[in-house]
A and B are shown apart, each in its own frame.
Chain A
Amino acid sequence: MPDTTTGVVVIGGGSTGAGVLRDLSMRGIDAVLVEKGDLASGTTGRSHGLLHSGGRYCVNDLAAAIECVEEGRILRRIARTTIEDTGGYFVSVSEEDEAWVPRFVEGCGKAGISCERISVEEARRREPALSKQVRTVFWIPEDGHLDPFYLVMGNVESARRRGAQVRTYTEVTGFNRDGNRVTGVLTRDTMTGEETTIGCKAVINATGAWAGFVAKLLDVEVKVVPVKGVMVVLSHRVAHATINRCHKPGDGDIIVPALSVAILGTTAVRVPHPEVLPIEWEEVRHMIEEGSLMADGVSTARAMRAYAGVRPLYDLGAEAEGREMSRNFAVIDHEQRDGIAGFASIVGGKVTTYRLMAERVTDLVARRLGVTMPCATAGVPLNDRDDELDQLRHRPAQVGVPKPHGDELALQPLVCECELVRPQDVAPWFEDPAVRTLEDIRRRTRTGMGPCQAAVCSYRLAGRLVTDRHQDGPAATRAMADLLETRWRGVRHVFWGSQLRQAQVTAGLHLELFNLDRQLMLEKSTAPAGHFPPPQGEGQGGGVEKAEVASQR
């Protein structure tokens, strides 16, 4: 007997899974999303956040480019608060690049991407950061930055408002079957070890690079090629608009100004497993050197950290490798292909096209369940209203100083000064059962994502863990140490200049002043290591809704 039953179980809490959950809930289908980590903690949260106009794919991968054009326009309508409409430049910096220009122009024409060639002088006037090597410049108004965390949270909260459920840190360990039909999912809480069975009519495998592992539990094969990409985060935006190199897509040819930082990307290296993502010094250096070819200030800016993500490229059986492979996606109907009813996989694709991917797979599953309601996700904004308030970008103006010294807003205390996170931005998430580590708070609020990489805000969050989630001191200390540890993993790749000195300050603060390592040894928490338990009186309350209300005040 299952512990609970639902209509559809969605496996995977990235942009695709979140998009599927929302799509299902909008069609009136009961759904539960299970994710073995946190929402947006895999491929989505480790993307470089480029909202693709399609320009990057228009020569080699026209189908993907056309999808990007259409989806980009839809996202601008439905997910406005997660997008920075920066526009973008495609620049060539060598003779070799210039040979690509006619093909690029032709590709843009075919894909329907608006693209305007502007003089180098004009470009430099608009974007002083462009380097001296720049030879030709195209202005692509539809490139932009898409915040992957806010996108996923927005989809999930929209689905939760319609009754959908989310279980984070919940791993799928097996399936219940009735003959050839999948009737349930066996799950295990990765932190407590608690096992649960969720009965359902269908399962959607939206685990991207992990899709093969999930399919294997049903003895079917899904061939996904995990391709690693390394990115470097700089401590400020560097440029006003995204900058792409106008050449055959290669390493280190994208600069994305993302909220308060800039992200340099990326590489493409096939890896044996989606969780084996080593970052080599050569890769970090290469990102910075290639970025410097396009924009001044990249080499002198403070690199804050490096991270690696994994693309979930779907092997269509062609000989292609890495970047040559299509960024297209595929819906796999396992009933048709493998004779397993009630199971479908969605693989390939990219964050920009997540909604379309969700629509296609949900169409299939809804049809099988006899639900005729069409997809409505393209027409309704994520927060279901024309939201005037972009929380993140308006924060600087909202921190407030009382009159007559500033504006009329009361002085806002800050949890994280680097990213201007206020207590009311953080508080609702402590009530969300899906939030189980301080990293989860970071993903939802940007706390700890600034230059000091949680050196200062980590102890403020630990304090809030005690006051807002009633954890004991040792548990809070443990959680703080875990947050610092995960930040450290990214920071250690950029140990030179200011970030090296920062690390010294951080280590001095936590290891010497706070004596953190010894505290961890001495104080045994009652909570299991690595997380803190959900709040008492568990509900599926939506954090975002409350956060929005709070920030409007």
Chain B
Amino acid sequence: MITEEIGTFSDTVEEAAPVEACTKCTACNTVCPVARSTEIFRGPKFLGPESERYRSQPEAAVTAGLDLCSGCKLCEVTCPSQVTIQEYIRRAQNKGAEEKGRTLRDWVLGHTRLLSRFGSMTAPLANFGNRNPLVRLVMERVLGIHHKRPLPRYQWLTFERWFKRNSLSPRGGGSGRGGLATHRTVAYFYGCWVNYNDRRLGEQVVAILERNGIDVIVPKQQCCGIPAVVNANMDLARKYGVENVRRLNGLPPGVDIIASSTSCGLMLKHDYSHLLDIPGAEQVGARVYDICEYLWMLHEAGELNLDFQPVTTRLLYHAPCHLKSHGIGYPAMRLLRLIPGVQLEEVDEGCCGISGTFGVKVEKYDLSMTIGSRLFAAVKAAGSDAVLADCETCRMQVEHGAGAQSAHPIDILARAYGHG
């Protein structure tokens, strides 16, 4: 019948050419934090599917305004037609950068790992410089990094070296519920943030996992590549990705991979195989879990150590945009509500505005603060001991914009386990 006839050329439409599936419903524009905050951004609908129709024409490269996309991916989460809006925007931006060249600033911000290594090696000096107004003025002029944007503190001892040092002593065999039937091992993808800026978070992750009788191994790893992706350097991101995929595919079977950074986790889970087309990335992605997602799964399996000390505190939770792309709900909230004494509420005010390196840039700092203003106001109005967020740059932005304390949800969990 007619449906069968139609079927011959309809079934493949969505899969083969998702850009064609856009019905102009404009749902993406209504959730886009950038479009909501500035008149000069046309929004994901125009820069993604609508412009894509013209990008095959040599005389009509539609690139203007692409760099205003912060890469939060809320458009893709929202799209009822499953159009991969972000991928079109990123590819077009990358193509534009290849043709017109990148700024020094975007090159530097794409090489976050290199930058962080340098910052870590020269930690006291780098930290002094990052807080010196004169140095910051020079940085703004030369690099285009806004002088008001607080830059992360670097630490001299990296997580990688800390783990090596501490793993010399016998590890594993957590003190939690001894004699578990299943024995698990996870590989920890700590990411550049934990390695160079927040070793303590990494230590907490290891401690919590071990407390649950899980062995932690730390494979050698490269930057996940997301700073390169959003700074229009997909070749570099792919290079990083290929290296990570090779190393992670070398892990013994049965070893799950966990990440404590939302965006690193999203790259490993999804973008390596989709946006960057890295061979073998599907297999890696299938075994990657966000740390809170993983712990919640343990809980559901009845394996989570629930021997919590009460933590009396009033907390707010801000869900990072990239966490929404994971499609796992908010496992951090569910986990922390298991802890006696914890009062936790979500601030549902959308994107914080920083979007990784986006809000660092001199021409986007103000925009990034405008995007976050709703969140800042809500955080200030609610009052709390700390604002929790799984993503490190969200935490930086909330501290800067709302003047609040911030922490990774793991920090509270660690306190409940007595590792605070």
Contacts and interface: CB of A to CB of B under 8 A. Distances in A.
Interface in A432-487: 450-452, 455-456
A496 interface: yes
Contacts of A397: 59-62, 64
A260 B54 contact: yes
A420 interface: yes
Interface string A392-416: 0111110111101111010100100
A402 B65 CA distance: 8
A301 B51 CA distance: 16
A388 to B, nearest CB: 13
B104 to A, nearest CB: 14
B378 interface: no
Contacts of A501: 21, 23, 81
A505 B68 contact: no
Contacts of B53: 235-236, 260, 418, 450-451
Nearest to B15: A300
B22 A396 contact: no
B142 interface: no
A502 interface: yes
B169 interface: no
Interface in B1-45: 2, 5-6, 8-10, 12-14, 16-17, 20-26, 39-42, 45
B14 A498 contact: yes
A149 B229 CA distance: 43
A379 interface: no
Contacts of B16: 300
Interface string B192-220: 00000000000000000000000000000
Interface string B312-339: 0000000000000000000000000000
Contact of B65 (A405, A417, A450): A405
Contacts of A394: 59-60
Nearest to B55: A396
A237 interface: yes
B57 interface: yes
B67 A497 contact: no
A452 B53 CA distance: 13
Contacts of B39: 411
Given A300-B16, A302-B13, A401 B65 contact: yes
B62 A396 contact: yes
A100 to B, nearest CB: 27
A525 interface: no
Given A399-B64, A400-B64, A300 B9 contact: yes
A251 B57 CA distance: 28
Contacts of A420: 54
A278 to B, nearest CB: 17
Interface in A340-387: none
Contacts of A401: 40-42, 64-65, 68
B23 A452 contact: yes
A128 to B, nearest CB: 11
A395 B20 CA distance: 21
A496 B13 CA distance: 10
A176 interface: no
A417 B62 CA distance: 13
Question: Chain A: interface residue count, which band?
Answer: 35 or more
A248 interface: no
B8 A498 contact: no
Given A236-B53, A393-B60, A498-B14, A404 B24 contact: no
Given A404-B363, A411-B39, A505 B64 contact: no
B57 A451 contact: no
A455 B60 CA distance: 25
Given A397-B61, A497-B13, A235 B40 contact: no
A96 B57 CA distance: 34
A424 interface: no
A502 B20 contact: no
A505 B24 contact: yes
Contacts of A399: 42, 62, 64
Contacts of A182: none
B164 to A, nearest CB: 44
B363 A300 contact: no
Contacts of B64: 397, 399-401, 405-407, 409
Contacts of A504: 23
A162 interface: no
B20 A235 contact: yes
A301 B24 CA distance: 17
Query: Which of B56, B62, B64, B81 has the largest count of A CB atoms less than 10 A from its CB?
Result: B64
Contact of B22 (A288, A395, A451): A451
Contacts of A281: 2
A285 interface: yes
A41 interface: no
Interface in B128-156: none
Interface in A287-310: 288, 292, 297, 299-302
Nearest to A299: B9
A427 B10 CA distance: 39
Contact of B46 (A237, A405, A406, A417): A417
B24 A451 contact: yes
B282 interface: no
Given A300-B12, A302-B13, A496-B10, A418 B21 contact: no
Contact of A405 (B2, B8, B22, B67): B67
Contacts of A404: 363
A297 B6 CA distance: 16
B294 to A, nearest CB: 37
Contact of B9 (A288, A393, A396, A417): A288
Nearest to A506: B23
Contacts of B366: none
Contact of A505 (B23, B40, B60): B23
A417 B10 contact: no
Contact of A498 (B20, B41, B68, B363): B20
Interface in B63-114: 63-65, 67-68, 81
Interface in B231-253: none
Given A235-B53, A236-B53, A396-B57, A411 B17 contact: no
Contacts of B54: 260, 396, 420
Interface in A92-129: none
A300 B24 contact: no
Contacts of B51: 396
A187 B266 CA distance: 69
Contacts of B62: 396-397, 399
B303 interface: no
B53 to A, nearest CB: 5
A400 to B, nearest CB: 6
Contacts of A299: 8-9, 12
Nearest to B39: A411
A300 B17 contact: yes
A513 to B, nearest CB: 11
Contact of A302 (B6, B8, B20, B60): B20
Contacts of B41: 401, 405
B57 A301 contact: no
Contact of A456 (B24, B59, B61, B68): B24
Interface string B289-301: 0000000000000
A285 B25 contact: no
Interface of A: 235-237, 240, 260, 281, 285, 288, 292, 297, 299-302, 393-397, 399-402, 404-407, 409, 411, 414, 417-418, 420, 450-452, 455-456, 496-498, 501-502, 504-505
8 contacts: A299-B12, A300-B9, A300-B13, A300-B16, A300-B17, A498-B14, A501-B23, A505-B23
Given A299-B9, A497-B13, 10 more contacts: A260-B53, A260-B54, A301-B20, A406-B65, A409-B64, A417-B50, A418-B24, A450-B53, A456-B26, A505-B25
Shortest beta-carbon contacts, A-B, top 9? A406-B64, A401-B65, A396-B60, A302-B20, A497-B10, A299-B9, A497-B13, A401-B64, A452-B24
